[in-house]
Structure 1
């Protein structure tokens, strides 16, 4: 074994011990708890090299060492496997999520489940309208000149908008428009809708064109909205139980988590990573309030691909393999449910 490989083993042992005990790790503890196959003097030399490289650091009040953000990053990048869930855990996840009655219930159950599995803050992003396909459009007259437009996506998301017509609604025209819309849009995503919606106008009399255009505009604008994207949180109380993990105030972390725009930006950035499970550690979150946290996320989707992300936020001293496993497992069940399989 090369000295570099051995030092990575020492780093892994330090991370695992610190996560388990919350106590800085000394060379004596490493000798007692791990079969590293080298002398205590060699371990001390390796720890000195790791500290010089910036992977571990010494708190002022202790002779032991703790991992730095860079140390956690090396540890996560070197993970060959994540901790598998037990069969009982997988069955519990499946039965709990499959009992959901609609999309809101699925999201609510998922976020509570991740919080329970990780004992950290759970985050579930609602399926993005931009990445969703339209399943059905319903048109409901709600007054002589007001038409309720209901959009139902393939992920089960429902959006409602109201259109005001220039003249009294004709039920036959509304029925024709409903039929033409659903023939044109069913199964299509936003980039595919432009031409299909544009041709609708040609199927109606000139007097009905303003209503058709108004409905088409509402459909396009609703699907293009970024402001409708949102995330749901659960388990913020879990952070208080590990309050000693934060040298700053817990309130700063909680304030950052309340900013939906911050979480959505992070989720969007993490979606660009070409790895199954993405991890942002400490300063990698690029937000002052989250410098002492790590964010683990993965994508979920439907038969067309990824539509949103789920994740867990906790202190940098988290059990990364277990957190990554829990997040990935819930995402897989979400995908299965949305795909209808």
Structure 2
């Protein structure tokens, strides 16, 4: 869709001057939240042409659907189509200042565990962008086993603790078919770690079955029971978790001006399935910007979503992003989301 709009912009005669006018309209409208007139554009921007020429350019932009005139104003505002062309062709990602980068790094480096990393990240995104921030916990489906611990609770009960490479921890109780000796617990722990550590969770089922087939003697009954719990923990419990912050920021973006109520947006943001769809479908090093009607969720078509993936290196463990009005500062938001994702990925790589 973006490529089609770029090509269309060229076919419709949007030369550099008209693109500069569109850029100026978007920037002024984002900054002032007021419709923009030709006189204002000439006064604020070095366009090098007269107000009459700017009015003619605005007429072309309006005819082609990139800007529109609100009923209550003589000025113009961008349409979703205009924002899309701005993002695809016109926006320049604003580099973060050294102070901003240091602030991000200091805020995230103090995290003590995975939950703290995610909660710090979502709060930071909401504060920096002044939008609704969404962060997906590292997906178990994309994770690998770092360590499996077996903790004796009694002679017939163990606690299985799984730690994955993202720092996520899962615990399950194992009810054994009969009593087990402490030395046998040690042997079981060694066997499962030798077989499974370093393996992606999605690839573990045949290895777990191999453990059952290879074990003989007194360990076999315990391993058979343990294997069932292992499969449930490693494979079947791929529940995804989401952290959300900054919903109060929706009241700042002017969304009430357009649809009268934030309730549909808030209801959509309460659904984890919706949030995962917004930020979970990401590719390595790719920024995804969905504007207005490009959103598949009906209740979010008054918003824009800026999202990307995060993880160590080129490995994507989850997604993060922000939801806000279509009238957002795209260059700054894109730069912030990208920078935070990179710092979170670096932090996970260190752990």
**TM-score bucket (shorter structure):** over 0.9
Evaluate the alpha carbon distance shift between residue 276 and residue 104 of structure 1 in structure 2; reply closer, same or farther with a 3 A threshold: same
CA RMSD of aligned residues (A): 2.1
Evaluate the alpha carbon distance shift between residue 213 and residue 57 of structure 1 in structure 2; reply closer, same or farther with a 3 A threshold: farther
What aligned pairs does 1:157-236 form with structure 2 within 5 A after superposition? 157-205=168-216, 208-225=219-236, 228-236=239-247
Q: Which residue of 2 aligns with 1:49?
A: 60
Evaluate the alpha carbon distance shift between residue 173 and residue 79 of structure 1 in structure 2; reply closer, same or farther with a 3 A threshold: farther
What's the offset of the Cα at 1:225? 4.3
2:299 aligned with 1:299: no
> Structure 2 regions of 5+ residues with no counterpart?
1-9
2:28 aligned with 1:28: no
What's the offset of the Cα at 1:216? 2.8
What aligned pairs does 1:138-149 form with structure 2 within 5 A after superposition? 138-149=149-160
In structure 1, what is the Cα distance between the partners aligned to 2:92 and 2:146?
38
In structure 2, what is the Cα distance between the partners aligned to 1:180 and 1:303?
30
In structure 1, what is the Cα distance between the partners aligned to 2:165 and 2:313?
10
Q: Which residue of 2 aligns with 1:289?
A: 299
In structure 2, what is the Cα distance between the partners aligned to 1:9 and 1:197?
61
TM-score, length-scaled by structure 2? 0.90
In structure 1, what is the Cα distance between the partners aligned to 2:189 and 2:264?
49
Q: After the TM superposition, which of the residue ranges 226-235 and 209-218 deviates more from structure 2? A: 209-218
2:318 aligned with 1:323: no
Q: Which residue of 1 aligns with 2:267?
A: 255
What's the offset of the Cα at 1:181? 1.2
What do residues 126-157 of structure 1 show as CA deviations (whole Å, max 9, x unaligned)? 00000011100111222343222111011100
Structure 1 stretches (4+) deviating beyond 6 angstroms? Answer: none
What's the offset of the Cα at 1:103? 0.6
Q: Which residue of 2 aligns with 1:337?
A: 347
What's the offset of the Cα at 1:80? 5.8
What's the offset of the Cα at 1:223? 3.3
What's the offset of the Cα at 1:204? 1.8
In structure 2, what is the Cα distance between the partners aligned to 1:236 and 1:120?
7
Count of residues in correspondence between the two structures: 339
Q: Which residue of 2 aligns with 1:104?
A: 115
Q: Which residue of 2 aligns with 1:5?
A: 16
TM-score, length-scaled by structure 1? 0.92
In structure 2, what is the Cα distance between the partners aligned to 1:304 and 1:154?
15
